[in-house]
Structure 1
Amino acid sequence: MKFGWTADTAALHTRRMLNSLALASVMFAATPGNAGGISAVDVRGDQVTLRFDDSVDGASAFLLNEPRRIALDISGARIGANGFTGGGGAVSAVRQGQVSDETARVVLDLVTPAIVSNAQFAQDGKSLSFSLQGVSDSGFRAALGKGRARIDAPTAMMARAPRRMHSITVPIPAAARGLVLPAVAGPRDGARPLVVIDAGHGGHDPGAINRENGKREKDVTLAIAQAIRDQLLKSGRVRVALTRDDDRFLILQERYGIARKLNADLFISIHADSAENDEAHGATVYTLSETASDREAARLAARENKADIINGVNLGGQSGDVSSILIDLTQRESMNISAGFARLLQREAAPYVPFRSAYHRFASLMVLKAPDTPSVLFETGYISNVDDSAFLSSREGQDRIARGVARAIEVHFARKLVMREDRAGG
């Protein structure tokens, strides 16, 4: 069998040569005399241990692609003997380089895609151990986009004097000052119930993105929110307001804050989920609980609650008056009403929208924490799924979702009206 060079093969070979030359050039740079030298890199199956001849200050890990590698930058370390022992598993080779006077880098060349898991230093700071967790190609690409993962120094080393660090200033968007309330559409009769529809994400925050077709959650949610508004206005039974009617960014507190300031009777936040598993599909309704109903609910809350954080700065710090209200019994009643509406939404919208079998989940979602407004977060489907993405992005799909949601809202308020009349008659 003959093996020939292709353009891709040549490019890969060139990249590897450049990587080796770059790493070799820093290996001969001056290294600090008071840092922990790397004395050994021990790979045993999926377990890796880096050993140092003195304590180091901490580390960070990140992934590199083409070829796949794991890199570890170790603060307070210097390169040492390239003592790679073991092998035969996910690691084919280990290299070292001195990237600065204060930081040494260890690079693990991977045979199969893997990520760092359960990393920790020994208490004396003289060794770092971690596991190699095998992942799929898509899982590796997803982890690649997350950037560096910090591995904190051992507790016993925290009292050491910090090394001098350089700092830079990065401008970030300021938190919005003052809440501009949107227009309320529908009957001018103030007695009609008011529904606030929140299109998730927006502005610099695109939300989930389909890897194949580039569809963005922020665009899909806005189109669906507008379709729900238009469908509700046809009946003339309720008033409607959108938290955003264009591509703008709102912090989470502003979203439910709009509902509270307008004295909304119902708040619905529209989203489109994503998952590593491209087969995941179907709609889900979330209501507030401090305890997540399952891992997926906890994952969603962790992701969505980070929408206010830009460059590590939280733009939506919660005020004390809201915090005190959250423990009021009023929220318990709102949570019960929200859970009832979630069940109603699935029942009424199921003829129009495909739901997951476990359609109702509970999570500690910040956007649902208006204490006096019944609220749900409606994940209308998975933008990462081919069929769901096409459904959510189409006019027909958006209209079907709107009809289903409108039916549920009208039944919800009809029930409330009957209950009020029964109490008045009794």
Structure 2
Amino acid sequence: MDWTSAVKLRHNGYIMVIVTALLALLTPGLAHGGEVEHVSLQGDRLTIRFDDVVQDARSFSLSGPDRIAIDVRGATTDQKRYSGRDTVRTIRAAQYQPDTARIVLDLDAPMAVQSGYFSSNGRQLHLSLARSGSLGGNAGKFAGPKSFTPPAGFATRPVRKPYSVKVDLPATKSQIGLPEVRGPRSGDRPLVVIDAGHGGHDPGAISPHDGKREKDITLAIARSIRDRLLETGRFRVALTRDTDKFLVLGERYSIARRLDADLFISIHADAAGNEEARGATVYTLSEVASDREAEKLAARENKADIIRGLDLRRTPESISPILIDLRQRETMNLSADFAKLLLREGQGKIRFRSHSHRFASFVVLKAPDVPSILLETGYLTNADDVKLLASKAGRTQIADSVAGAVRVYFARQLAMR
């Protein structure tokens, strides 16, 4: 059995075996989010700081033992402990659900959140605490759940990063030509499609330090990864663009699907308002995005073209979205597997951010049957990052890491046939 068949059979086998299990486990995911950077307590004022906007927050009091819990939707965090003081003994943070971070205050006496608000930029949540005994007859009222929402506009979309350019264009009516596929002529070798972000009249992020443009950085890195993969002789490789041209976002993953790709890697370079921010991040698709995409795909007329190996033309309307959703969730699992391998293979070669695997609803990740990741290679707003990304040594480190992850990923796929 060849590489491609092995991967596809694994896909098809999972669909019928895990239908019941997955239906029971479906949970909303993270469309975008901010990481909990720090939690501090000064007097009766608690401040939770994030590195990006979050969706909303909810606080409530617990007894036996006495605690205050704050759930922040659209936030991520590692397990952390922060210093408490006075009645607040300790402060703990952990990931409660895939899309929710929970901060717990362990108390020596009953307390409640009296009031709270988000800062104007949506990145800080300020809460005022009070001992329940000091609230008198209002103790029951203030001890109940409270909800907090960032200022209008911040709760529904990420903060726009400076130095980036976004161009919204209508979808093209005709399909663009397919790029050249390089590598062994045998079709049984895995096909990796590499997408260099931005291009043409869309420069992407522009470095404030030396004027380097994201579209040029990403193309150079994509070519380096292609060349490194071709050196192994084990893979076929195609670039969505090998020149400075513009592609609509949907065209990028459409190219991967039309080529029947086995893996899709989109290369980008980020920008931030804080010039100290640096490091790479790996993104895979959030479950919220997959739910919406499954609905859209199920509504298309030519259902035979939706999922490789699944002809849905005779499938009842009520079943099609379920099958599409299951296939996409299996694809998401494979994408997450590759993301973890990339983080492992990149240790010592790529500088990653803390909490370096994140979830997002990027359009280029929405192919339902092609495992896909988006690699933000670093920050063009950081002088050290842009210097590294623009260098041959930096591109080589990234290419070696990606090639190592690709090699292990497909070796595992072949072993599981």
TM interval, shorter chain, is: 0.5 to 0.7
Is residue 180 of structure 1 aligned with residue 192 of structure 2?
Answer: no
Partner deviation per Cα, 1:136-158 (whole Å, 9 max, x = no partner)? xxx9x959x99xxxxxxxxxxxx
- Find the structure with the greater CA-based Rg: 1
Is residue 218 of structure 1 aligned with residue 215 of structure 2?
Answer: yes
SS at match of 1:404: helix
1:286·1:362 contact (CA, 8 Å) conserved in 2?
Answer: yes
SS at match of 2:416: helix
Structure 2 residue runs of 5 or longer lacking an equivalent are 1-119, 123-150, 152-158, 290-295, 301-305, 308-319
Q: Distance in 2 between matches of 1:183 and 1:370?
A: 20
Is residue 286 of structure 1 aligned with residue 276 of structure 2?
Answer: no
Q: Distance in 2 between matches of 1:336 and 1:177?
A: 32
Is residue 189 of structure 1 aligned with residue 178 of structure 2?
Answer: no
Rate the CA distance shift 1:211–1:334 in 2: closer, same or farther, 3 A. Answer: same
Cross-structure match for 1:389: 386
Q: Distance in 2 between matches of 1:230 and 1:262?
A: 19
Cross-structure match for 2:249: 252
Cross-structure match for 2:262: 265
Letter in 1 for 2:363: M
Which of the numbers 353, 377, 381 marks the counterpart of 1:380? 377
Q: Distance in 2 between matches of 1:231 and 1:254?
A: 25
Which contiguous aligned blocks of 4+ residues in structure 1 show a shift greater than 4 angstroms? 317-320, 322-327
Cross-structure match for 2:365: 368
Letter in 2 for 1:376: I
Which of the numbers 329, 338, 343 marks the counterpart of 2:340? 343
Q: Distance in 2 between matches of 1:399 and 1:269?
A: 17
Rate the CA distance shift 1:116–1:368 in 2: closer, same or farther, 3 A. Answer: closer
2:162·2:272 contact (CA, 8 Å) conserved in 1?
Answer: no
1:207·1:217 contact (CA, 8 Å) conserved in 2?
Answer: yes
What percentage of residue pairs aligned between the two structures are identical? 61
1:284·1:379 contact (CA, 8 Å) conserved in 2?
Answer: yes
Structure 1 residue runs of 5 or longer lacking an equivalent are 1-114, 118-130, 132-138, 147-171, 293-316, 421-426
Q: Distance in 1 between matches of 2:265 and 2:162?
A: 30
Q: Trace 1:93-108 onto structure 2 (pairs within 5 A).
A: none
Cross-structure match for 1:408: 405
Rate the CA distance shift 1:417–1:319 in 2: closer, same or farther, 3 A. Answer: closer
SS at match of 2:354: strand
Q: Trace 1:34-183 onto structure 2 (pairs within 5 A).
A: 175=172, 177-183=174-180
Number of residue pairs matched?
238
SS at match of 1:328: helix
Question: Normalised by the size of structure 1, how large is the TM-score?
Answer: 0.51
Cross-structure match for 1:201: 198
Rate the CA distance shift 1:357–1:320 in 2: closer, same or farther, 3 A. Answer: same
Higher RCO, Cα 8 Å, sep 6+:
2
1:269·1:377 contact (CA, 8 Å) conserved in 2?
Answer: yes
Partner deviation per Cα, 1:108-158 (whole Å, 9 max, x = no partner)? xxxxxxx999xxxxxxxxxxxxx9xxxxxxx9x959x99xxxxxxxxxxxx
SS at match of 1:362: strand
Rate the CA distance shift 1:257–1:319 in 2: closer, same or farther, 3 A. Answer: farther
Cross-structure match for 1:82: none
Give the RMSD, CA atoms, in angstroms. Answer: 3.2
Cross-structure match for 2:238: 241
Deviation, 1:173, is: 8.6
Partner deviation per Cα, 1:34-88 (whole Å, 9 max, x = no partner)? xxxxxxxxxxxxxxxxxxxxxxxxxxxxxxxxxxxxxxxxxxxxxxxxxxxxxxx
Rate the CA distance shift 1:347–1:174 in 2: closer, same or farther, 3 A. Answer: closer
Partner deviation per Cα, 1:268-289 (whole Å, 9 max, x = no partner)? 0000011000011111000001
Cross-structure match for 2:416: 419
Letter in 2 for 1:183: E
